[in-house]
Structure formats: C-alpha cells, structure tokens
Amino acid sequence: MDRSLFIAMSGATQTMLAQASNANNLANAQTTGFKSDLEQFRSMPVFGDGYPTRVYAQTEKPGTDFSQGGLQTTGNDLDVAINGDGFFAIQDDKGKEAYTRVGSLKITPNGELQTSTGLPLLNAAGTPINIPAAQKMVIDSNGSISIRPLGAGANDPLAEVAKIKLVKPDIKNVEKRTDGLIYIKDGSAQADDATVRISQGMIEGSNVNAISAMVDMIELARNFEMQSNIMKNVKENSAASAKLLQM
C-alpha cells in the first residue's frame, strides 16, 4: 500500500489526540485553578530492519502551563488564592500528598478543611487540617488559620489553630497527572515554604485563553480535514491504478 496513506493516517490520528487535549483545556476555561496542558507535533522516524526512510507524525505532551490565572475577588472567607508561585498541599484519593492551585475551600460537618472537590488540605506537618466550630475564621498571608470560637465575645482575640502547608517546588520536577493534581516526579513530599503568600477572599481562575483555544481547535480541524483528503486521494489513485492493470 502507498506509504503516503500511512503518513496521512498517522497525522490524522495524532491530530485527533491533540483535539482531545485542546477540547479538555477549553472545557476547563472557567475551572478554578486549572492549568492548561501543552501539545506539540513532531516528526518521528520509523525504525526497524534496514535504513529508517519513513517519517510519521507524532503528538506529545511536553508539559503543563503553570502560569498564574486571573485572581477573582469573592469576599468568601473560605476562598484563598496563591500570589505568584506555589501550591496548596492536599491528600489525594489514595492518601498520597499532592498539590493544587484550587483555593475554593469548604469545612465538613466534622470540621475537616477540604477543597471544593472533597480533598483534605494538609498542615505543615503533612496531616489533614481540622477546624473547631467558629464564628469567624481568618487565613493569614502565610497560610496560618485563626478562629474566634463559638460563644466568644466579639472583642476576644483570635486563636491560631492550624497552618496550611504551602510548597514551592521546582517546576521542572513536577507533573500534572490524569486526576488533575500536581505531583513531584520522584514521589517525594515537599517541605512547607514560608515564602509562599496567599490572599483570603479571592480565588484563582483558569489560565486557559479561550480565544487561543478556539483558534487552535479550528486549526486542528483543518489539519484533520487535510489528512482525510490525502487518504481519499490515495484511495482514488489506487482504484485508478487497479483499473488500468485490469485492462
């Protein structure tokens, strides 16, 4: 079979994979703390017996865009946003330490401080944070949590009850996995970093540029159409050649 068919087929297949990644970015354009995935195409020689004369298309994920999304003021005491670099330390579904930029928090009836998706936030010691019943809660810029207990007077001082673990790993050593969380590549846990600063009453939006994502979607659709037309032309040429041979 004509090698151009295989080349066009690989191009169309990889374009579909890139479309899926771009569609996921676009779908999360309004998701709090979401970081967009990057995609790129490159040629890949086909190795095997003999000299590698064929080159196919390949798409790959070179990494994640960790640039900061826009900060939105909510006025909610349970909304916090990181200013600059850094992550909140959380516990994933398997009990392992992971990291996120999602700062929309909630307190369960049992007093556990969690993200909006139900994952426990960790304190500086690496254990889940529990907040006693309170009439007021203040989260300082360094992640310290102070409360005024229920029944206390309005002028009574706040009492510090916990500190959110904030980390700032080297971006080269982190990766975003399929659950949307950030992990250290070697599986190690990071220490609390005192230089990370957060703001209460704000959340960080997605860093996806919806307009750029739409442009990429159109470009990928045209690329897929071009590859499909090439495969169609190969089929027509093959049919014409078979007809000539029949004569």
Q: Are residues 80 and 17 in the same domain?
A: no
Q: Indicate the pTM of the whole model.
A: 0.79
Q: Are residues 55 and 105 in the same domain?
A: no
**Number of structural domains in the chain:** 2
Q: Are residues 198 and 212 in the same domain?
A: no
Q: Are residues 199 and 237 in the same domain?
A: no
Contact 59, 15 (CB under 8 A): yes
Q: Are residues 27 and 86 in the same domain?
A: no
- DSSP β-ladder status, 144-149 and 134-139: antiparallel
Q: Are residues 105 and 136 in the same domain?
A: yes
The answer for 29, left when phi > 0, alpha when psi is -120 to 50, beta otherwise, is alpha
Residue 87: strand pairing partners: 167
Q: Are residues 180 and 105 in the same domain?
A: yes
Q: Are residues 82 and 153 in the same domain?
A: yes
Summarize pLDDT for 28-59 with one digit per residue, the tens. Answer: 999 999 999 887 776 667 666 766 666 776 66
Q: Are residues 95 and 197 in the same domain?
A: yes
- Separation CA 86–CA 168 (nearest Å): 4
- Separation CA 26–CA 209 (nearest Å): 8
Strand, helix or coil for residue 211: helix
Q: Please, which contacts does 93-97 make with residues 24 or more away whose CB atoms are closer than 8 Å? A: 93/119, 93/179, 96/183, 97/122, 97/126, 97/189, 97/190
| Predicted local distance difference test score (pLDDT) of residue 28 | 92
Summarize pLDDT for 152-204 with one digit per residue, the tens. Answer: 887 888 999 999 999 999 999 999 998 889 999 988 889 999 999 999 999 99
Of 189, 204, 219, which residue sits at a domain end? 204
What is the domain extent for residue 137?
71-204
Summarize pLDDT for 5-14 with one digit per residue, the tens. Answer: 777 877 788 8
- Separation CA 210–CA 36 (nearest Å): 11
- Separation CA 106–CA 104 (nearest Å): 7
Q: Are residues 188 and 241 in the same domain?
A: no
| Predicted local distance difference test score (pLDDT) of residue 174 | 93
Q: Are residues 76 and 188 in the same domain?
A: yes
Q: Are residues 191 and 233 in the same domain?
A: no
